[in-house]
């Protein structure tokens, strides 16, 4: 014991001495050597060590490499606060908000190439959701808003639990993500949450009120050319939407048609019509006459897109733009998602063997009317802004005149004054000589 302590003390002393010695060397170099070198170089016009051109890193006691090699991936920081990341991921949504991904997580096996239905539900739509789960028999990712400033907070959590445990298929297929805050109808945020946490490569953006009538999922997965297009990420597939002309008939899902022939007879008999026939622009780009006449297996391209089009689509989860979260409430929100997808160069294709049918329910008419006015203004600005952003980006990439750039040329020229604004922006850049080839006219500005 005694021997080893004195031994240690001696080692300690040696270390202390060594340290003092090194410290003196450091200080001398710092206080004397460096300034001296600097003075000499000034006097004799010698380059100082730090200004030597192309020199290898100077080995100086004051400068040293933090690491000899770059940090390996395993040493990258792994633990980043989830709430922080999510608040950044949804930074254009309203705050404060708490997102709880996988509040319930499905136990069933997933195939990466499957199609997950992404949707949103409020408590009054739970029964409809249960029917969707039974019908689809595939992966579903659902965002549920929980107003945490409400006396019903706990009873809502209870009813979500009751819903989730009501059938084995819930636990097998459904992932539930909660959004807890006091903001109602942040539809685009909720859509993005459902998509972000979907666990397959492809998603379908669906509103909960629709009944799935045909098995588009198996049909798409079995069709190699459709799957190839999905993987490339430049195509979205439309499942046409219908509704009953008499609202009461839309309450009995068991009586809905499940194949195209019965659909066609119901349409011919005047029972069914395109969804929202009174707001034609929402769906008529699907071209219903062509859909009715299409032979089995036909997949046709949407050629008459316009900015109010809001079909229900299957597309690639990762890659295409996300829904703009500044739209809160009714009006424009879904159309904005589809507009940006379209501008980014995604083409819409209609699956002419398949369809979904709306199940009637009461709307909050007064709220809808007020919010629509509000969002109409936001949507008009959004269109212009999105056109400018993609126009500039695709111009710089040199793909404005390609298949991907075609949608921008088609759609943005419809905006009042857009060609002039865009051309001015380009002319200015040309003038500043920042890598522009000269003389390109993208638009017929006078026309
Ligand atoms: C609701 O949740 C938000 C986000 O977590 C939080 O900031 C807020 O205080 C909560 N409100 C109530 C009444 O619990
Ligand atoms: C929360 O609820 C109370 C009472 O219902 C209300 O006075 C308050 O404005 C609400 N706060 C928010 C942030 O919605
Ligand atoms: C859709 O409806 C609008 C308004 O009725 C009409 O102007 C437009 O031509 C229609 N588009 C198609 C593709 O049928
Ligand atoms: C598969 O999809 C292509 C379009 O991508 C279509 O032409 C073809 O008819 C489809 N095949 C079947 C069997 O539906
Ligand atoms: C775009 O392509 C068309 C046809 O290929 C061509 O006529 C036109 O000059 C091109 N425009 C520009 C600005 O390159």
445 CA to middle of ligand 3, Å?
A: 26
Residue nearest (by alpha carbon) to ligand 3 atom 3: 281
pLDDT of residue 22: 55
426 CA to middle of ligand 3, Å?
A: 33
pLDDT of residue 80: 76
Name the strand (E) or helix (H) holding 212. strand 210-212
- The finding on whether 151 has its CB within 6 A of some atom of ligand 2 is no
How far apart CA 340 and CA 20 sit, in angstroms, is 66
Q: Which atom of ligand 1 is nearest to the CA of 153?
A: 14
Q: Which atom of ligand 2 is nearest to the CA of 151?
A: 5
How far apart CA 17 and CA 13 sit, in angstroms, is 6
pLDDT of residue 121: 93
Query: Which numbered ligand comes closest to the C-alpha of 283?
Result: 3
Query: Which numbered ligand comes closest to the C-alpha of 220?
Result: 4
440 CA to middle of ligand 5, Å?
A: 9
pLDDT of residue 158: 94
Q: Which atom of ligand 3 is nearest to the CA of 285?
A: 13
95 CA to middle of ligand 1, Å?
A: 10
> How does pLDDT run along the chain (447 residues), one tens digit per residue?
444 445 555 655 665 555 655 555 454 444 444 444 444 444 444 444 444 444 444 445 555 555 566 666 676 666 778 888 888 889 888 888 999 999 999 999 999 999 999 999 988 889 999 999 999 999 999 999 999 888 888 999 999 999 999 999 999 999 999 999 998 889 999 999 999 999 999 999 999 999 999 999 999 999 999 999 999 999 999 999 999 999 888 888 888 999 999 999 999 999 999 999 989 999 999 999 999 999 999 999 999 999 999 999 999 999 999 999 998 888 889 999 999 999 999 999 999 999 999 998 766 677 778 888 888 888 989 999 999 999 989 999 999 889 999 999 889 989 988 888 888 877 766 554 433 344 455 554 433
How far apart CA 324 and CA 333 sit, in angstroms, is 8
pLDDT of residue 46: 42
Q: Residue 390: CA atoms inside 13 Å, Cβ hemisphere, count?
A: 28
149 CA to middle of ligand 2, Å?
A: 6
Q: Which atom of ligand 1 is nearest to the CA of 149?
A: 13
pLDDT of residue 20: 55
Q: How far is CA 424 from CA 154, 189, 394, 410, 417, in A?
A: 56, 34, 16, 19, 11
Provide the whole-model pTM: 0.80
Name the residue ranges covered by the structural domains of the chain: 79-208, 210-385, 386-438
Query: Which numbered ligand comes closest to the C-alpha of 183?
Result: 2
Are 360 and 276 spatial neighbours (Cβ–Cβ below 8 Å)? no
Are 324 and 382 spatial neighbours (Cβ–Cβ below 8 Å)? yes
- The finding on whether 297 has its CB within 6 A of some atom of ligand 4 is yes
Are 191 and 337 spatial neighbours (Cβ–Cβ below 8 Å)? yes
pLDDT of residue 424: 81
pLDDT of residue 81: 83
- The finding on whether 29 has its CB within 6 A of some atom of ligand 1 is no
Return the closest-CA partner of residue 245 out of 358, 156, 381: 358
Query: Which numbered ligand comes closest to the C-alpha of 86?
Result: 1
Residue nearest (by alpha carbon) to ligand 1 atom 13: 149
pLDDT of residue 43: 44
Torsion of CA 395, 397, 398, 404, to 10 degrees: -80
How far apart CA 267 and CA 102 sit, in angstroms, is 41
Structure tokens at 113: 């190439």
- The finding on whether 96 has its CB within 6 A of some atom of ligand 4 is no
Query: Which numbered ligand comes closest to the C-alpha of 229?
Result: 4
pLDDT of residue 442: 54
- The finding on whether 149 has its CB within 6 A of some atom of ligand 2 is yes
Residue nearest (by alpha carbon) to ligand 2 atom 9: 149
């Amino acid at each position: 014991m005694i021997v080893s302590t004195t031994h240690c003390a001696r080692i300690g002393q040696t270390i202390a001495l060594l340290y003092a010695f090194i410290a003196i060397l450091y200080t001398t170099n710092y206080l004397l050597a460096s300034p001296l070198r600097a003075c000499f170089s000034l006097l004799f016009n010698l380059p100082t060590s730090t200004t030597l051109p192309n020199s290898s890193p100077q080995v100086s006691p004051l400068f040293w490499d933090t690491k000899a090699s770059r940090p390996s991936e395993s040493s990258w920081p792994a633990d980043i606060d989830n709430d922080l990341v999510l608040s950044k991921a949804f930074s254009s949504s309203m705050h404060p908000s708490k997102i709880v991904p996988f509040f319930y997580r499905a136990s069933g096996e997933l195939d990466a190439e499957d199609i997950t239905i992404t949707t949103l539900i409020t408590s009054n739509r739970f029964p409809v959701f249960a029917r969707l789960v039974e019908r689809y028999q595939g992966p579903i990712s659902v965002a549920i808003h929980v107003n945490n400033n409400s006396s019903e907070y706990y009873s809502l959590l209870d009813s979500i639990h009751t819903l989730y445990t009501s059938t084995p298929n819930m636990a097998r297929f459904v992932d539930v993500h909660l959004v807890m805050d006091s903001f109602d109808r942040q539809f685009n945020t909720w859509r993005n949450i459902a998509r972000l946490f979907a666990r397959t490569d492809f998603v379908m953006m669906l509103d909960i009120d629709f009944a799935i009538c045909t098995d588009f999922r198996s049909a798409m997965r079995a069709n190699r050319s459709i799957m190839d297009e999905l993987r490339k990420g430049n195509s979205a597939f439309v499942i046409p939407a219908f509704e009953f002309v008499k609202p009461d008939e839309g309450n009995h899902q068991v009586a809905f048609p499940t194949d195209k022939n019965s659909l066609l007879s119901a349409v011919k008999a005047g029972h069914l019509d395109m969804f929202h026939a009174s707001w034609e622009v929402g769906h008529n780009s699907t071209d219903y006459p062509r859909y009715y006449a299409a032979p089995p297996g036909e997949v046709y391209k949407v050629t008459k897109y316009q900015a109010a089009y809001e079909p229900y689509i299957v597309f690639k989860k990762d890659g295409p733009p996300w829904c703009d979260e500044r739209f809160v409430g009714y009006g424009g929100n879904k159309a904005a998602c589809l507009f940006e997808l379209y501008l980014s160069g995604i083409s819409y294709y209609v699956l002419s063997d398949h369809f979904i049918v709306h199940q009637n329910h009461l709307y909050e008419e007064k709220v809808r009317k007020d919010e629509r006015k509000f969002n109409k203004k936001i949507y008009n600005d959004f269109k212009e802004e999105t056109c400018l952003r993609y126009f500039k980006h695709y111009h710089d990439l040199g793909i404005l005149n390609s298949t991907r750039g075609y949608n921008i040329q088609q759609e943005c020229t419809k905006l009042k004054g857009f060609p002039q604004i865009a051309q001015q922006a380009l002319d200015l850049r040309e003038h500043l000589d920042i890598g522009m080839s000269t003389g390109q006219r993208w638009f017929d500005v006078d026309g």
